Amino acid sequence: MLGTGTGDGLQLESLKLMRLFNLDEVSLRELNQALHDCNGSDEASAWTVTNTKGKHAVAAGIDAPLEVTVNGHVGYYCAGMNKQGQVTIRGNAGPGVAENMMSGLVRVTGNASQYAGASAHGGLLVIEGNAGSRCGISMKGVDIVVRGSIGHMGAFMAQKGRMVICGDAGGALGDSLYEARIFVKGEVAGLGADCVEKPMAEEHEREVAQLLEQAGISGVDAAGFRRYGSARKLYHFNIDNVDAY
Amino acid sequence: MPEKDITEWLRESATFPRAVIADIQRAARTGIYDIRGFGAKRALPTFDDLVFLGASMTRYPLEGYRERCDTSVTLGTRYAKKPLELKIPVTIAGMSFGALSAPAKEALGRGATEVGTSTTTGDGGMTPEEREHSELLVYQLLPSRYGMNPDDLRRADAIEVVVGQGAKPGGGGMLLGQKISARVAEMRDLPEGIDQRSASRHPDWTGPDDLAIKIRELREITDWEKPVYIKIGASRTYFDTMLAVKAGADVIVVDGMQGGTAATQEVFIEHVGIPTLPAVRLAVEALKEMDMHRKVQLIVSGGIRSGADVAKALALGADAVSIGVAALIALGDNSPEFEEEYRRLGTSAGFYDDYQDGRDPTGISTQSDELAARFDPVKGGRRLANYLRVLTLETQTLARACGKNHVHNMEPEDLAALTIEAAAMAKVPLAGTDWIPGEDRPKSK
């Protein structure tokens, strides 16, 4: 049932703005429609979603500064195409969390499956656990911070934006990379086509520190990260690079 | 006395004709395979291999120009709250801003709108020009996701998930650097002037089960308003159609191997996929087997040129067709007006296929401001509208001759095949016989 959260000692004003959606009692459609009814509004409000039980497309398509807390694990495409929304998933996220995000913040307190942040154009995606394969695939401007490790083919064909991996990265990292930049603290199993290690200057360390702070990740020293980017050798089709294609 | 052409008496090799020799020489010279636009150029079985059995003693025709023959089509009746209502059964296929100039995209919107049909975005996102001038605009969700954003998704009238296209089923794309202008680069979040790949796989789903979930996400984001199409390049069409239905498509677009492209390897264009003729029949068979024919609408594309092609596709069971190359030709592509400039590019009007090159003298397939300025979108739009009207009139003419008061009432029984291949592919009898190759018993008398 769609209702108003009570019993937490919240102030009246907060109560008016608090919305609680129990997905055992209301449908996903009703939740998303209620969120979309706020689209275009500047008004911030707090929402809580419970009993998600792996449902797909939870809180997809937000376009307002809503603070949405999702208590539980979610399936595919949670917070898909998010704009402005501040979505926290207290659990694990299935494939494609925050896919094509435009702005705002999506935080996963657990692990994220494959394609996290796929083709996202902006905003910040924070994964406090580990992420699966193809994290940041085709990313187009988003910042992604992963507290743990990521699987293989991270940042595949990534175009713009930054990715900070505090743990290890799987094989073929940054394959066919364009202008996205990658920072890894741990081990990299292997680099993909046209991805190379680049010098880590002080300015880059400051950049990593700033991203970690923005992501609310503490206890990780910005020193010791390594930087990866595109060698830009595949930017123009050249038969001499045929072995790389 | 003029000198005799010695090639008249020299013997040309059937295995190595001049075009093949020239291609080997080009490959040896450049070290790169040929990338070009347009569609398949080799001879293929086509709708020309079918004829209509006009009304006579056993069928009653409708009066031309008097008795109404309806051409309206509704697309997206399965799940969408707002299906598309088209006045004619011909739509404009997806062609990107990037491949085409902004005025050319505008002209496509103008022409389609004038006759009450839809146009489609393409790889690279939606431009304000095409949205403004397209009453009905289909927004493509492609593997590259260039320019994809939720605002345009909601602005669109329908969404087309592109799994593949007829010119290159299983292939991605390559827009060469000379066409990556500042505006194109910005829309695609890429540096200006570099060759850019369009991926061959979507970044966030891998199979039909995933796609079903992806489509539900798109529906959630757009509040279940928009029809969702799935576009597939024709290859394993029967099974692909079934899987598209299972994945939740409102509309399935099947693009045969004659379908156009802006930039694809020649070897891909000519050697991958199956022709439109068998593809339409396979798709209809799959829909009928699932009891979804007319419930999930079918759009067929790939080499549609005339009202005869439209009518035959509809008679085989399609709900509508889509045109790309033919629409560009209607806008002015390959016009003899530019013969001199085509010659300077080493080609000729009627042969030009270098859409990838960016030097199109007509201003259609270019990102050069100077060339694009030559193209008048108002005049181009009018030419396209004229052409679409002719396609519609021709389709109605054939439908009336078969006694049908709606173009959807044409059926395979109205057709006969002129070749054994066409009879086998379309599963209509070889003209003058009851024979459909591959079928045990005659279907009709």
Burial readout A34-49 (b: 16 or more C-beta within 10 A, e: otherwise): ebbebbeeeeebbbbb
- Candidates A56, A179, A236; nearest CB to B217: A56
> B150 to chain A: which residues are within 8 Å by CB?
61, 63, 81, 83, 100, 102
Which residue does chain A place closest to B31, by CA atoms? A239
In this prediction, residue B296 carries a pLDDT of 98
Please give the structure tokens belonging to residue B411.
Answer: 């059926």
| Residue in A33, A37, A81 to test binding to B, most B beta-carbons within 10 Å | A81
What was the pLDDT predicted at A17? Answer: 56
Measured CA to CA, the distance from residue A122 to residue B344 in angstroms comes to: 45
Taking residues A158-163, what's their average pLDDT?
98
Is residue A174 pLDDT above 70, yes or no? Answer: yes
pLDDT score recorded for residue A217: 97
Q: What is the DSSP string of B14-35?
A: SSS-HHHHHHHHHHHHHSS--E
As to burial, measured by CB atoms within 10 angstroms (0-12 exposed, 13-18 middle, 19+ buried), residue B232 is buried
pLDDT for A2? 40
DSSP string, A89-122: EES-B-TTTTTT--SSEEEESS-B-TTTTTT--S
Out of B148, B177, B194, whose CB is closest to A119? Answer: B148
Amino acid residing at A74:
V
> B139 CB near a chain A CB, below 8 Å?
no
**B160 and B140 in contact (C-beta within 8 Å)?**
yes
| Cα–Cα nearest to B119, from B140, B101, B149 | B140
Calculate the alpha carbon distances from A192 to A100, A245, B352 in Å.
23, 11, 38
Spatial separation of the C-alpha atoms in residues A36 and A29, rounded to whole Å: 10
Task: Say yes or no for a CB contact (<8 Å) between B210 and A118.
Answer: no
Identify the pLDDT of residue B177: 80
**Chain A residues touching residue B216 (CB < 8 angstroms):** 56-57
Residues of A with CB under 8 A from a CB of B: 28-29, 32-33, 36, 56-57, 60-61, 63, 75-77, 80-81, 83, 95-96, 99-100, 102, 115, 118-119, 121, 134, 137-138, 140-141, 156-157, 159-160, 176, 178-179, 235-237, 239
Write the pLDDT tens digit of every residue in A193-218.
Answer: 999 999 999 999 999 999 999 999 99
Residue of B187, B189, B223, B224 to mutate when probing chain A, most A C-beta within 10 A: B189
B contact residues 150-209, partner A, Cβ 8 Å cutoff: 150-151, 153, 174, 176-177, 188-191, 194-195, 197, 199, 203-205
Residue pLDDT, tens place only, B342-397: 999 999 999 999 999 999 999 999 999 999 999 999 999 999 999 999 999 999 99
pLDDT at res. A1: 37
A vs B: CB pairs below 8 A: 105
Spatial distance between the Cα atoms of B248 and B172, rounded to a whole number of angstroms: 24
Q: Do A75 and B32 touch (CB under 8 A)?
A: no
Over chain A, what is the mean pLDDT?
92
B210 touches chain A (CB under 8 A): yes
Residues B171, B174, B175, B176, CA torsion sign: negative
pLDDT digits (tens, 9 = 90+) for A56-82: 999 999 999 999 999 999 999 999 999
At B95, give phi and psi (nearest 5°).
-145, 130
B221 in reach of chain A (CB within 8 A): yes
B contacts of A74 (beta carbons < 8 Å): none
Backbone angles phi, psi at B307, to 5 degrees: -60, -30
Which of A9 and A21 is assigned the larger pLDDT?
A21
Q: From CA A229, how far away is CA B385, in angstroms rounded?
A: 49
Task: Please tell me the pTM assigned to this model.
Answer: 0.94
What distances in angstroms separate CA A79 from CA A23, A110, A122, B133, one per listed residue? 16, 15, 13, 32
Contact A77 B214 (CB under 8 A): yes
Along the 445 residues of chain B, how does pLDDT read in single tens digits?
667 788 788 999 999 999 999 999 999 998 888 889 999 999 999 999 999 999 999 889 999 888 999 999 999 999 999 999 999 999 999 999 989 999 999 999 999 999 999 999 999 899 998 999 999 999 999 999 999 999 999 999 999 999 999 999 999 877 778 778 888 888 899 888 888 888 899 999 999 999 999 999 999 999 999 999 999 999 999 999 999 999 999 999 999 999 999 999 999 999 999 999 999 999 999 999 999 999 999 999 999 999 999 999 999 999 999 999 999 999 999 999 999 999 999 999 999 999 999 999 999 999 999 999 999 999 999 999 999 999 999 999 999 999 999 999 999 999 999 999 999 999 999 999 999 998 876 555 4
Which of B219, B221, B225 should be substituted to probe chain A, the one whose Cβ sees the most A Cβ atoms within 10 Å? B221
